[in-house]
Amino acid sequence: MVMEVDGKQYHVRLGRGDVGRYVLLPGDPGRCEYIAKLFDNPKLIATNREYVTYTGNLDGVPVSVTSTGIGCPSAAIAVEELYRCGADTFIRVGTSGHIQKDFVSGDLAIISAAIRDEGTTKHYLPIEFPAVADLEVTHALQEAAKRLGVRFRTGISQSKDSFYGQHEPERMGVADDLLQRWRAWEVGGALCSEMEAAGIYIVASMLRARAGGVAMVHAKETMPPLDNLLKVAVEGLRNLIASDRAAGRSLTI
C-alpha cells in the first residue's frame, strides 16, 4: 500500500517533479538550507516532521537535498518515498564519531559499507546481507575529495540505534556487550560510527538505486566546521552528473 496525501508521499510530502534524480541526505533539517545554497536557484519545496526538502540545479540538472532526521527508521522512509518521486541516486551527508583513534577531527570518512548494528534493516533483508555503497557513488566522492584537497579515508562505518549507548556504554544494562562489540569494530578496522548509512544502503539495494555516503568525523567535543563536508558532497554530485552524461544516461526524472 502506497500512502499518499493529496498526491504527495505521506511523510516527505513530495510528488513526482518535486525532486531531481540526485538527492543529498543530511540528518539535520537545519543543514538543508546551507547545502541548498551550494545549488543554483534553490527553492524550498516541502517541510514535514523531520523532512525538509530543497530542489535546485547543478550543471543544468535538477538536484535536491532532503533531511532524514536521526536514525535508520526515518532515513529508510525518506529513501522509500523519494524513490517513489523519481529519485534514484542518494548520498548520505553527515557527521560521525571516530572508531579508529588516530582519526584527525574534521577529516572525512567516505563510507563504502556499514555495519548493520541497528534494527530497521532486519525488516528488509537477513543480517547476513551486507550494507554496501554503490561503487560509482563512492568513486565520485573520492574524486571530489581529492580535487578539493580534503583529507579523507574510505572504509566501513558502524550504523547504530543508540547515541548514548555509544557515548555512555558503561551505564547501560548491556555494557559488557556494547564494549566488546565496539572493540570488535575497532579491531576490524571500522572508521567511524553514525546512525543512518546502513538503512540508506539496504533500502537502496532493495530498490536497485545508487547510494553512498560521506561523514565528517569529530574526535573532540567541539564540532569542526562543515564546509569541507558539504563541498565534497556537492562536488560528488557534479562528478556523478558528468559520468552519467558521458554514459548517455538520463539526467532527469
Query: What cell was used for 160?
Result: 547504530
What are 225-237's pLDDT values in tens digits?
A: 999 999 999 999 9
Query: What cell was used for 221?
Result: 567535543
| Topology adopted by domain 4-246 | Rossmann fold (3.40.50)
- Domain definitions of the chain by residue range: 4-246
What does pLDDT average to in each consecutive run of 10 residues of the chain (253 residues)? 82 98 98 98 98 98 98 98 98 97 94 98 98 98 98 98 93 96 97 98 98 92 89 98 96 91
Query: What cell was used for 213?
Result: 555516503
Geometric angle at alpha carbon 47, from 43 and 49, rounded to 5°: 155
Predicted pLDDT of residue 1: 60
3-state DSSP assignment of residue 15 = coil
Cα(246)–Cα(73) distance, rounded to whole angstroms?
35
- pTM, to two decimals: 0.97
Cα(235)–Cα(240) distance, rounded to whole angstroms?
9
Query: What cell was used for 91?
Result: 548520498
What are 168-193's pLDDT values in tens digits?
A: 999 999 999 999 999 999 999 999 99
Query: What cell was used for 194?
Result: 553514525
Cα(131)–Cα(108) distance, rounded to whole angstroms?
19
CA distances from 26 to 64, 93, 166, 198 (A): 11, 5, 21, 14
Expressed in percent and rounded to 5, the helix, strand and coil fractions of the chain are: 35, 30, 35
Query: What cell was used for 183?
Result: 572493540
Q: Match 560521506 to its residue by C-alpha cell.
A: 214
Query: What cell was used for 72?
Result: 535508520
Predicted pLDDT of residue 2: 66
